Structure 1
Amino acid sequence: MKKFILSIAIAITSLAGFAQEKKFENPNSDSRGYLVKVGDKAPDDFELILQDGKKTTLKELRGKIVVLQFTASWCKVCREEMPYLERDIWQAYRGKGVVLIGVDRDEPLEKVQKFHQDMKISYPLALDPGAGIFQKFADKKAGVTRNVVIDREGNIQFLTRLYDKEEFGKLVNVVDQLSKN
């Protein structure tokens, strides 16, 4: 009986801690840390400075399907996902009006350039000093890897978090469907 009561006390304490922890999360973010949701107009009030010095904006990319991959060189899961993004999105769809840009969270140019080279990817990486671009899409404390699929009109069509083969397959299907419209 004492073990049972102790187990219940531990469970209640754990739930109280969980509730306390939840109280301090951003009330505008979803359970995966996103501040945006499918169907929203994508934030587009920022400039993407690519690792090769070129610049672009989501407004300039309107009319194309855009996949933003939030990443960082220190992220093991990002590194796992990047070859699939290269092959299954960038190489497969770039001639079909699809743009893939990795947005590197808060790392200097030299590190981003080395990361790009080390990963042997051909899609561009953009700088995100201070994670300002990241924070337009996800809570500051939320992690990378995540992908945001934006349609030709600038609306968010799909969101991913971490790398999951099944979810990644859905991402590819969404890009495929959008590319046919």
Structure 2
Amino acid sequence: MFQKLSKLKAICAIIMGLIGIQACAQDDYGYIVKVGEQAPDFETTTPEGTTMKLSDLKGKVVMLQFTASWCGVCRKEMPHIEADIWDKHKANPDFALYGVDLDEPAEKVEAFARQIPVSYPLLLDPQGGAFYKYAEKGAGVTRNVIIDKEGKIVFLTRLFKQEEFDQMKIVIDKLLKE
């Protein structure tokens, strides 16, 4: 087990070193995906009914923000995502940001976006079809997945920690410069 964790940490450090970041997600974050792996594909819709398929975004830097209206930490983090990431990069055709709302109806998701408020698109995730491709059953939301232009996971977060959030912003900026 120790060797497996050591190898994973070494791989993570190499990947992050390539883009100039010296941190990775903690082992206890509840992810079933890892940095360096291909991001699991999923298809879902916006509250208005527009279909979105992750694999259609290949060629873009993608940020997935897993969230839910009942999540207090999500509510704390979302204004930072709006101001520090979405407002900065929304006009960049090489960037996509989607909030993926865990198992809530369209009306609740739309009300949630207005309440925070956020203008980046939120997606419906009935029964956690997308979420549980990334995280263990029963794992909490408030997590971000950064995916490079080739569709590989390059950064994972859990909860809202300012230092980790700042590192994530640097990763996004560097990926968009490539």
- TM (normalized to structure 1)? 0.81
Contact 1:38 1:157 in 2 (8 A): yes
SS in 1 for 2:166: helix
Q: Name the structure 2 match of 1:133.
A: 130
| 2-structure distance, mates of 1:69, 1:83 | 12
Deviation (angstroms), 1:51: 2.0
C-alpha separation between the residues in 1 aligned to 2:54 and 2:69? 23
Of 69, 74, 77, 2:73 maps to: 77
Q: CA RMSD, aligned part only? A: 0.9
Gaps of 5+ in 1: 1-29
Number of residue pairs aligned between Structure 1 and Structure 2: 151
Partners of 1:38 and 1:100 lie apart in 2 by 18
User: Who wins on radius of gyration, i.e. which is larger?
Assistant: 1
Q: Is the 8 A contact 1:90 1:98 kept in 2?
A: no
Matched residue, 1:150 = 147
Unaligned 5+ runs, structure 2: 1-26
Aligned residue type for 2:50: K
Q: Give the CA deviation at 1:50.
A: 1.1
Please name the residue that 1:173 is paired with: 170
Which residue of the partner structure matches residue 47 of structure 1?
A: 43
Tell me by how many angstroms 1:174 deviates: 0.3
- Give the structure-2-normalised TM-score: 0.83
Q: Show structure 1 runs of 4+ deviating over 6 A.
A: none
Contact 1:62 1:153 (8 Å CA) reproduced: yes
